[in-house]
């Protein structure tokens, strides 16, 4: 028996040593691996590199090129065309970033400026290397800005965006559920009073202007002043994020959008909220239909005409551009694009809707209209039904389609018990805005409103297990108008005839609950046309007429559901329990509420059921 290094046997022959030297040999230098059972500290597999840099370079495998290389095709040819394709892409991005007053802007390069090349340098490699092909706009009057590089981080993955956020953006953390916690800065809600729309010869006639309209005018020149401010700001940075994505799951009415932003938070938010193109779709993306310049960290100049604060969110429909200055709240981008859809879609006789949408197992579709905070996301996310979308839809001649690729849920007081699907969607990849968490465990406290009431989670729609992909469905059977009544006036549910539906759709009563819009601290009675007046572009009657026509031709039934206070106002009674609202909604979906007995209320003439058959 040999003791060796602990390999003792009991001597009964049931155990034998592998062949090889009995005594371990201490080797130095060129010891080969796996030479027979020698057990010492260094015997594990070793890496086949000679420097640490080489080791690090092994870690990342090159991504598949966006242009598929044909099997058996000439590899050299394919490689050239991939480079060519990337050059075209950079040219397009460079055009987006170009200043309109200087002849040359910065040189646009792809990749992270902090990423070292194999030779240890950080300056871009000229004319070689697929990840760092360079595009420099036509030379003209030279300024310092034209001598610098702007690195473009193009359609990064969530993992890459996490790293960018955590490395460079203060207030970015990974929470214990895997989400990326971010801070949106001073603004934690939209700023509708700072929204401006360019009034030109076309929009003058087409859009809704004046009292009650969300479209506060600015002229073309002022837009260009703000655009230049945003572009110069973005170009002054070492790097910008560019997202090329789609809006609208209806393939015939899909819109290509480009978002240029300065923060990984913004890029990940839009990655989640817009429709994510496949590699192949990206390859043929071409020129975007609409571009957002988000320079939210940089204020607008208050000496500029039409500016009433340091925040400005500017829409120019003719140029198909939006500029954001002075607010980092990501919801501005989402709702800015929604405004664009509210303009483009009705032109195609398609109705755009601020609504959630889901579908039962039998294909029955329900729309959930409602102002911010009334329960569109909460109630369209229903474990027993397929989720088509939570916030923005189109209703065409053939049915409904979601405009977005993700959901934006309020998470104040979120609980696993009451909203399990939303709870579980908050995981790796999800952006968690303005939440508070334990400094050590990183566990989120959804009840903590220290930063804002309007805490939010933005996640791709497929994070909801029963999402319907593609997010389209047939014509709606039920149209549910949600109102969060803070004054205890509305009954929990009533059935509406078409005239009542139009009345409610146009008046859009709800109580604005704190949070989503800047400055709202306690429930305020609001009348918001089309349940989202802040985003409509045309006169409310245009949308209402289309809705009436569609509901009539499809025989949809409308309901008014109060998700607020009943039998006692805010501060006195309690908000209607979510479980109770869900039962009402279930009874609408199943058809049982349609069969109930109704009595007419004296004041509004609402048809309210005398009893609700509660299932389950």
Ligand X SMILES: O=C([O-])CC(=O)C(=O)O
> What are the residues binding ligand X (CB under 6 A)?
190, 331, 334-335, 372, 391, 408, 516
The catalytic position among 133, 146, 355, 377 is 377
Q: Give the active site residue among 194, 391, 421, 518.
A: 391
Residue 376: active-site member: yes
Catalytic residue among 190, 239, 477, 504: 190
- Does 354 participate in catalysis according to the annotation? yes
Cβ 437 to ligand ATP, closest distance in Å?
Answer: 18
Q: How far is the CB of 215 from Ca ion (least distance, A)?
A: 23
Q: Tell the residue number behind the tokens 């009345």, with chain if given.
A: 503
Q: Is 456 a catalytic residue?
A: yes
Annotation marks residue 526 as catalytic: no
Residue 539: partners with Cβ closer than 8 Å, 6 or more residues away: 208
* Cα–Cα distance for residue pair 4/13, rounded to 1 Å: 17
Angle between helices 331-347 and 540-554 (to 10 degrees): 70
372 versus 557: smaller Cβ distance to ligand ATP: 372
Q: Residue 332, interface with Mn ion (CB under 5 A)?
A: no
Nearer residue to ligand X within complex by CB, 105 or 375: 375
Binding mask 343-382 for Mn ion (x = CB under 5 A): ----------------------------------------
Catalytic pick from 85, 107, 263, 456?
Answer: 456
Q: Which of 266, 335, 393, 477 is catalytic?
A: 335
Active-site annotation holds for 196:
no
Cβ 370 to Mn ion shortest distance, Å: 8
Q: Specify the DSSP class assigned to residue 17.
A: P
Q: Tell me the three-class secondary structure of 304-370, residue by residue.
A: CCCCCCCCEEEEECCCCEEEEECCCCCHHHHHHHHHHHHHHHHHCCCEEEEEEEEECCCCCEEEEEC
Cβ atoms 510, 528 nearer than 8 A: yes
Q: Which residues neighbour 144 within 8 Å (Cβ) at sequence distance 6 or greater?
A: none
**382-441 positions binding Mn ion, by CB under 5 A:** 391
513 φ/ψ sector (left φ>0, alpha ψ -120 to 50, else beta): beta
377 is a contact residue toward Ca ion (CB under 5 A): yes
Active-site residue, 190 included: yes
Residue 173 CB, nearest distance to ligand ATP (Å)?
23
- Based on the number of CB atoms within 10 Å of its own CB, is 11 exposed (0-12), middle (13-18) or buried (19 or more)? exposed
Reading the block at residue 555, the tokens are: 């025989």
Smallest distance, Å, CB 354 to Ca ion?
A: 10
- Name 561's bridge partners: 482, 493
* Residue 212 Cα distances to 161, 397, 529, 538, angstroms: 40, 30, 9, 12
Q: Is 335 a catalytic residue?
A: yes
d(CA 42, CA 554): 74
Sole window of 43-51, 105-113, 402-410, 573-581 interacting with Ca ion (rule: CB under 5 A): 402-410
- In the complex, the smallest distance separating the C-beta of residue 468 from Ca ion, rounded to whole angstroms, is 17
- Rank residues 276 and 393 by Cβ distance to Mn ion and give the closer one: 393
Q: Check 372, 516, 526, 563 and give the catalytic one.
A: 372
Query: Which parts of this chain interact with Mn ion (CB under 5 A)?
Result: 391
Query: Which parts of this chain interact with Ca ion (CB under 5 A)?
Result: 377, 391, 408
Catalytic residues: 190, 335, 354, 372, 376-377, 391, 456
């Amino acid at each position: 028996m040999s003791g060796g290094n602990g390999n003792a046997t009991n001597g009964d022959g049931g155990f034998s040593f592998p062949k090889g030297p009995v005594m371990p040999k201490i080797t130095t230098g060129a010891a080969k691996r796996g030479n027979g059972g020698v057990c010492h500290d260094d015997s594990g597999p070793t890496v086949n590199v000679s420097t640490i840099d080489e080791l690090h370079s092994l870690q990342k495998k090159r991504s598949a090129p966006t242009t598929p290389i044909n099997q058996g095709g000439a590899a050299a040819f394919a490689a050239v065309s991939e480079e060519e394709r990337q050059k075209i892409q950079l040219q397009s991005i460079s055009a987006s970033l170009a200043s309109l007053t200087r002849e040359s802007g910065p040189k646009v390069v792809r990749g992270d400026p902090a990423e070292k090349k194999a030779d240890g340098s950080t300056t871009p490699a000229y004319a070689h290397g697929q990840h760092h092909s360079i595009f420099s706009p036509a030379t003209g009057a030279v300024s310092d800005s034209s001598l610098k590089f702007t690195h473009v981080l193009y359609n990064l993955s969530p993992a890459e965006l996490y790293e960018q956020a955590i490395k460079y953006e203060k207030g970015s953390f990974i929470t214990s559920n895997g989400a990326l916690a971010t801070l949106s800065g001073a603004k934690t809600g939209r700023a509708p009073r700072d929204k401006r729309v360019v009034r030109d010869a076309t929009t003058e006639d087409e859009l809704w202007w004046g009292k009650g309209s969300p479209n506060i005018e600015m002229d073309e020149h002022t837009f260009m002043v703000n655009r230049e401010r945003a572009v110069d700001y973005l170009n002054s940075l070492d790097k910008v994020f560019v997202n090329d994505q789609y809006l609208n799951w209806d393939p015939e009415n899909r819109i290509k959008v480009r978002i240029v932003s300065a923060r990984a938070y913004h890029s990940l938010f839009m990655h989640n909220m817009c429709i994510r193109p496949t590699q192949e779709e990206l390859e043929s993306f071409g020129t975007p239909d609409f571009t957002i310049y988000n320079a939210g960290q940089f204020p607008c100049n208050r000496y500029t005409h039409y500016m009433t604060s340091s925040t400005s969110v500017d829409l120019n429909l003719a140029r198909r551009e939006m500029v954001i200055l002075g607010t980092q709240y990501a919801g501005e981008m989402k709702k800015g694009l929604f405004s664009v859809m509210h303009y483009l879609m009705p032109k195609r006789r398609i109705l755009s809707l601020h609504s959630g949408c889901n579908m039962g197992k039998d294909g029955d579709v329900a729309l959930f209209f409602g102002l911010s905070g009334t329960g569109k996301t909460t109630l369209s996310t229903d474990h027993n039904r397929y989720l088509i979308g939570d916030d923005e839809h189109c209703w065409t001649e053939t049915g409904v389609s979601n405009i977005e690729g993700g959901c934006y849920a309020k998470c104040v007081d979120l609980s696993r018990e009451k909203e399990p699907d939303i709870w579980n969607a908050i995981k790796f990849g999800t952006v968690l805005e303005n939440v508070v968490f334990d400094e050590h465990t990183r566990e989120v406290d959804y009840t903590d409103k220290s930063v804002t009431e309007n805490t939010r989670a933005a996640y791709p729609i497929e994070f909801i297990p029963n999402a319907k992909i593609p997010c389209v469905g047939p014509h709606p059977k039920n149209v549910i108008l949600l109102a969060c009544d803070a004054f205890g006036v509305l009954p929990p549910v009533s059935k509406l005839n078409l005239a009542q539906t139009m009345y409610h759709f146009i008046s859009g009563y709800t109580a604005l609950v704190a949070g989503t819009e800047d400055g709202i601290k306690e429930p305020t009675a609001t009348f918001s046309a089309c349940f989202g007046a802040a985003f409509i572009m045309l006169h409310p009657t245009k949308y209402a007429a289309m809705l009436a026509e569609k509901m009539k031709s499809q025989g949809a039934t409308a309901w008014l559901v109060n998700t607020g206070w009943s039998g006692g106002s805010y501060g006195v009674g309690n908000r209607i329990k979510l479980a109770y609202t869900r039962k009402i909604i279930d009874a609408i979906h199943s058809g049982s509420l349609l069969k109930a007995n109704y009595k007419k209320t004296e004041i509004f003439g609402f048809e309210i059921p005398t009893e609700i058959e509660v299932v389950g």
